[in-house]
Amino acid sequence: MLDQSSEPQSNLSRSSSADLISELLAGMRLQGLRYHRLRLTPPFGVRFGEGGTPRAHFHFVARGRAYLRGEDGDLSELSQGTAVLMPRDGPHALLSEPALPCRHITGFDAAALCDAVDDVQSCDPDTCRSQDTLIFSGCMELDLGSLHPLVSLMPAVMRVDPQADRQSELLPILEAMEQEVCGQRAGFAGILTRLAEVVAAAIIRSWVECGCGDASGWVEALRDPRLGRVIAALHREPGQHWTVESMAAEMGVSRSVFAERFLAVTGITPLRYVTELRMRLASQWLTRERLPVEDVAERLGYGSQAAFSRAFKRTTGHSPGAYRAATAHQSEEH
């Protein structure tokens, strides 16, 4: 067995930090809620998103090109093979030319290809079908687990471009998406949803690994093995009876040093962080896994269903049952 104490401390720190970031990223959950396969004859303009919901949007141009207009009016051109992830549900549009009027995606006639994928065609029957633009778009639920505070710090648009991107491992997946969108083989709709989730997750991972841009201070703090160990422990055991004292002991420092360091890194107090983490997990278990309220309360360490329900309502503004119903309604709309 190797004596780790003989290794340079800097190497140990880098190794443990990488393992820690990997462990935290393992908590990332990305699930497609509603997808659209768009076949559009130029000129076209399609609007997405209304804001105010914890959703992400994904777009992949399988054939042709399109302009992406963001909430701030900025334009970027998407060439064939380009994928973009928009981590927050801001209003945006895909257009064949920059100044065209737009119609919201829900205003188009759609035919169901499978449970989660609709086919939208706005085509000119007199043009060659090869001139149509093909786009695969999706509304996604994005949960980064312990790294969830990073969502608000992400760029409005995150993209992968096969002509200029360093993520060479994604090129075969993008090519497979292009073939599935254009070929329409048996089961292509279901396969596309899985490929889209993989590409979106890889875009996020690359951003985190590259230092998270302007959020680099947050990630550098996570590279502190002692503080990162606490955050990872909270994520692994959210139902444990965590106190400031127990978290400080996990880090190996005094209460005051721990509380000051934690607040400086995350922007919130340790106990508030624990509560928000628990409520994010509760939201997932209530809506995606459809667990009974009493089971969620037990998993998260609450002494009773009533105590959990009060905490959930204080954080989300809704009772667990009302939240589950509202989320199901939003998913149907998307």
CATH of domain 29-212: 2.60.120.10
What per-residue confidence (pLDDT) applies to 147? 64
Collapse the DSSP code of 20 into the 3-class scheme (helix H, G, I; strand E, B; otherwise coil) and give the result.
Answer: helix
pLDDT band at 289 (very low <50, low <70, confident <90, very high): confident
> H helices within the chain, ranges in order?
9-25, 171-183, 188-209, 216-222, 225-236, 244-251, 255-266, 270-287, 293-299, 305-316, 320-333
pTM of the model: 0.70
Q: Are residues 136 and 37 in contact, defined by beta-carbon separation less than 8 angstroms?
A: yes
Structure tokens, 19? 């393992």
Structure tokens, 191? 């396969």
The CA distances from residue 231 to 25, 146, 227, 255, 280, in Å, are 12, 7, 7, 15, 15
User: How many Cα atoms are found within 13 Å in the side-chain-facing hemisphere of 256?
Assistant: 0
Cα gap 191→280, rounded to integer Å: 28
Residue 317 DSSP label: S
What per-residue confidence (pLDDT) applies to 14? 43
Rounded to 5 degrees, what angle do the CA atoms 285, 287, 291 make? 45
- Is the model's pLDDT at 280 over the cut of 50? yes
Structure tokens, 251? 């880090």
- Is the model's pLDDT at 286 over the cut of 80? yes
Cα gap 278→271, rounded to integer Å: 11
Place of tokens 């945006």: 92
Rounded to 5 degrees, what angle do the CA atoms 236, 170, 47 make? 85
What per-residue confidence (pLDDT) applies to 15? 42
Place of tokens 């360093």: 166
What per-residue confidence (pLDDT) applies to 16? 45
- Write the pLDDT tens digit of every residue in 166-178: 667 788 899 999 9
Each domain of the chain, given as residue ranges in start order, spans 29-212, 224-333
- Is the model's pLDDT at 13 over the cut of 60? no
Place of tokens 């035919």: 111
Q: Are residues 231 and 150 in contact, defined by beta-carbon separation less than 8 angstroms?
A: no
The phi and psi torsions of 186 (rounded to 5 degrees) equal -55, 130
Superfamily of domain 224-333: Homeodomain-like (1.10.10.60)
**Beta-strand runs (E) in 4-74:** 29-40, 45-48, 55-63, 66-69
- Write the pLDDT tens digit of every residue in 99-151: 899 999 999 999 999 989 999 998 876 665 668 999 999 999 887 765 666 77
- Is the model's pLDDT at 8 over the cut of 70? no
What per-residue confidence (pLDDT) applies to 306? 95
